[in-house]
Structure 1
């Protein structure tokens, strides 16, 4: 009977061991599954953040392209007007209308950047828009000053036109520097 009791005890011990092993395996599988779920959640969060950053960068790039396109049209529209001011020639109504339209396109494009930032790029775009407004305002009042035939007013306005051109060049350089830095920065 000793062998029978030993066999029964061995069977009970094996059964208890199998139960403990099964519980340990189930617990290990549960912990492993939980860690897998956490890893997937982290990966999904990181992927979503990366895709969002990419999307925002694409939006910024589009707005910066819109600003560049509008500014190019403004440049080619304002150059003849400012050339007329520099040579003391009148600016026509057609030129002023085209200049107003070109300025409005720059202002709208620059304003769109407020949605996408960053703040330093938005500020530089606003300065560019204001500099374009300075050129536009300068050209708009030129016909009145020219017809006044007052040499001091004409000379003063020509000096203001040169200053507006310098301000535009400076604002453009700042904007381009900020746009390049923003669009080429790593994620």
Structure 2
């Protein structure tokens, strides 16, 4: 009996070992497959991230470049307007459209990032649009001032004629009085004399004409002064915007250069 049990026990042990080996092998195979799958997933993820980063960098480069093209177009239009002394609203249309293009491309930069480039681009676009609004307002104020001054001209010719007529009649009255005195005649004889009446009418015309001229001159000076004051304020805005754009251009260029110089892994996190 003992002889029979020993082989049986050995067989049981062998079967258990085989079963255990099968389980361990299966577990090892599963673990190996999971690790392999994880490695593949990680590789695919990393490859996708790298490809996306390269795509993002290319999109940024193209968008930054198109934004600067719109900015340079605004500068060319502004320079051309200054050289030709353009002073009509139609001449600002090209500048307005170019400024609108800057705004549209700044919005795309806001999508692509990073934040520092976005802020600089938005600042450049906003100040350029404000320049367009200020330029439009300047032309409107100038035209309104010219129209108002032209609508109330100073009666220079009429004033000159009235002044000369008044001087002439005054001289006639002076000669008449001098003649009466030299002849020893009573000055009361001059009451109602036609020359005195004409001189009084001439003096009244001169008073009215000179009053109109003074009032027209006063109103025109006030209107021109108001327009000049507003023009100085607008000039201050334009100067501040110019200085702000110079700073924003430097920030944009520096931030864009840094964003484009990043390696793909860096690009994956710089938009967070």
* TM-score scaled by length of structure 2: 0.56
Determine if contact 1:121/1:178 at 8 Å carries over to the other structure.
yes
Structure 2: distance between partners of 1:90 and 1:70: 21
Q: Check if 1:164 corresponds to 2:241.
A: yes
Where do residues 14-163 of structure 1 align in structure 2 (5 Å cutoff)? 14-82=14-82, 89-147=85-143, 148=145, 150=224, 152-153=228-229, 154-163=231-240
Partner residue of 2:256?
179
Determine if contact 1:78/1:99 at 8 Å carries over to the other structure.
yes
Structure 1: distance between partners of 2:5 and 2:236: 115
Structure 2: distance between partners of 1:165 and 1:81: 16
Change (3 A) 1:90 1:27: closer
Structure 1: distance between partners of 2:88 and 2:82: 12
- Structure 1 stretches of 5 or more lacking a match? none
Change (3 A) 1:82 1:133: farther
- Point out the more displaced range, 171-180 or 153-162: 153-162
Determine if contact 1:70/1:106 at 8 Å carries over to the other structure.
yes
Runs of 4 or more consecutive aligned structure 1 residues displaced over 4 Å after TM superposition: 1-16
Determine if contact 2:70/2:101 at 8 Å carries over to the other structure.
yes
> Alpha-carbon deviation of 1:104?
1.1
Which structure: larger Rg?
2
Structure 2: distance between partners of 1:158 and 1:23: 86
> Alpha-carbon deviation of 1:77?
1.0
> Alpha-carbon deviation of 1:16?
4.4
> Alpha-carbon deviation of 1:175?
1.8
- Point out the more displaced range, 45-54 or 144-153: 144-153
**Equivalent position SS for 1:180:** helix
Aligned residue pairs, count = 183
What are the Cα deviations for residues 98-140 of structure 1, in whole angstroms up to 9, with x where unaligned? 1111111111111222222222222221111111112212322
Structure 1: distance between partners of 2:49 and 2:73: 36
Determine if contact 1:74/1:102 at 8 Å carries over to the other structure.
yes
- Structure 2 stretches of 5 or more lacking a match? 147-223, 267-272
Structure of higher RCO (CA pairs closer than 8 Å, 6+ residues apart): 2
**Equivalent position SS for 1:114:** helix
* TM-score scaled by length of structure 1: 0.77
